[in-house]
């Protein structure tokens, strides 16, 4: 009495991979650019560690998922 197994499928449609890759990488690069601008224009006494960590974490998440979807869209299944 074996139950029929369901195939594993992605929660995101495969047709959305290129779009997600483009927008996530674009947002990640924009946040990274704002981080660099913030670091270059603010004095060392006016910098906020919380803002730096938050901006870095947001950029990292978007660039990480954007890279993942770019690899998936190009056929490299990780």
Express each pLDDT in 29-52 by its tens digit: 999 999 999 999 999 899 999 999
Model confidence band, residue 5 (pLDDT cutoffs 50, 70, 90): confident
- pLDDT, position 8: 86
> CB of 21 within 8 A of CB of 70?
yes
Of 62, 6, 74, the closest CA to residue 34 belongs to 62
pTM, two decimals, is 0.85
Task: HSE, CB side, 13 Å, CA atoms: give it for residue 65.
Answer: 14
Question: Given a cut of 80, is residue 20 above it in pLDDT?
Answer: yes
Model confidence band, residue 2 (pLDDT cutoffs 50, 70, 90): low
- pLDDT, position 22: 98
Instruction: For residues 58 and 42, give the distance between their C-alpha atoms in angstroms, rounded to a whole number.
Output: 20
The structural domains of the chain, with segments of one domain joined by +, span: 15-74
What ranges in 1-78 are assigned the alpha helix state H? 17-41, 49-73
Higher pLDDT, 69 or 5: 69
């Amino acid at each position: 009495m074996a139950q029929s197994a369901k195939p594993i499928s992605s929660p995101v449609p495969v047709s959305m991979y290129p779009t997600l890759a483009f927008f996530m990488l674009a947002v990640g690069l924009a946040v990274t650019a704002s981080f660099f601008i913030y670091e270059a224009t603010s004095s060392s006494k006016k910098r906020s560690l919380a803002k730096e960590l938050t901006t870095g974490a947001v950029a990292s998440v978007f660039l990480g998922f954007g890279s993942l979807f770019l690899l998936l869209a190009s056929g490299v299944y990780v």
